[in-house]
Amino acid sequence: METIKPQKSLVDQTYEILLNAICTGEFAPGTRLNQDELAARLNVSRQPVNSAISILRTNRLVVDTGRRGVVVAEPDISLFQSIYEFRSVIEPLAVQLACTRLPADAAPEAEEILIRGERAVATRDTKALLEADIDFHQMLYRWSGNPVIDTSMQLNWHHIRRSMVEVLKTPLAAVSSWAEHRNIARAVLSGDTTAATEAMRHHINHANEKITATLADRRDPK
């Protein structure tokens, strides 16, 4: 049976809207978040806006200016590096655990995402490809059965999405290696822990190198 879902509070809705605006780059880094303005724009009072901003602050997506209010945090490249150091051990752990805890309908779920990604590559749809990428990895976190991996990576993906705004302005082929996902999925689904962790390790290092190069090039183009 289903459970009744109480509709989301204005705080949560406000948080999600602001989070999305920050991650898509709609609110550029350094932008000040004016509570009155946001409240008016979202048709709510300042109270939910204020609470949502508190949460954004604890998640480091905005930073205190000390004086008045908060500004959107700068997505610095060193944070991005740190996230990839982090992923380089967490993602292999996720697939390792996933190998031993596969759900029943794992295969079709993976296939749907893989096909979606392949179609995105074919149509040069960068936005859809990023979405498929996120979905693929989050699927593995779920399969791992480890909620700590899931929640910690959740936060990191927000930061990754932010950095990707820059990256995805360059030609798609330069940063995508979607084919690697299929290798990972095959290894996990067949329960081959060693192959799966190795494929994932390779994938993360590969992605990191490509994206870091792109970001560095954007910052300091030759």
Partner DNA sequence: ATGTTGAATTTCGTATACGAAATTTGCAAT
Partner DNA sequence: ATTGCAAATTTCGTATACGAAATTCAACAT
Given 17, 21, 34, 142, the residue binding DNA (CB under 7 A): 34
Long-range contacts of 61-65 (CB under 8 A, 24+ apart): 61/19, 61/22, 61/158, 61/159, 62/22, 62/33, 65/32
Q: Are 48 and 15 in contact (CB under 8 A)?
A: no
Q: Indicate the residue type of 136.
A: F
Q: Are 106 and 189 in contact (CB under 8 A)?
A: yes
Our finding on whether 48 is near DNA (CB under 7 A) is yes
Given 30, 69, 103, 147, the residue binding a second copy (CB under 8 A): 147
Q: Taking the complex as a whole, how short is the minimal distance between the CB of residue 62 and DNA, in angstroms?
A: 11
Given 3, 5, 68, 220, the residue binding DNA (CB under 7 A): 68
Our finding on whether 7 is near a second copy (CB under 8 A) is no
Q: Which does 149 bind (CB under 5 to 8 A by kind): a second copy, DNA, none?
A: a second copy
Q: Which does 69 bind (CB under 5 to 8 A by kind): DNA, a second copy, none?
A: DNA
Q: What is the DSSP letter of 69?
A: S
Give one word for 21, left, alpha or beta, with left for phi > 0 and alpha for psi -120 to 50.
alpha
Rounded to the nearest 5°, which phi and psi values hold at 24?
Answer: -85, -10
Our finding on whether 31 is near a second copy (CB under 8 A) is no
Write the CA distances from 103 to 72, 144, 194, integer angstroms. Answer: 39, 10, 19
| Nearer to a second copy (CB atom), residue 93 or residue 195 | 93
Our finding on whether 66 is near a second copy (CB under 8 A) is yes
Given 17, 29, 31, 35, the residue binding DNA (CB under 7 A): 35
C-beta atoms surrounding 125 within 10 Å: 16
Rounded to the nearest 5°, which phi and psi values hold at 63?
Answer: -125, 145
Given 148, 174, 179, 213, the residue binding a second copy (CB under 8 A): 148
Containing 32, the helix (H) or strand (E) segment is: strand 32-33
Instruction: Give the interface segment with DNA, choosing from 41-49, 167-175, 179-187, 189-197 (CB under 7 A).
Output: 41-49
| Nearer to a second copy (CB atom), residue 129 or residue 211 | 211
Q: Provide the residue count of the chain.
A: 222
Our finding on whether 82 is near a second copy (CB under 8 A) is yes
Structure tokens at 10: 């204005």
Contact residues for DNA, defined by CB under 7 A: 6, 9-11, 32-36, 44-48, 50, 53, 65, 67-69
Contact residues for a second copy, defined by CB under 8 A: 4, 6, 11, 47, 50-51, 54-55, 58-60, 66, 79, 82-83, 85-86, 88-90, 92-93, 97, 145-149, 151-152, 155-156
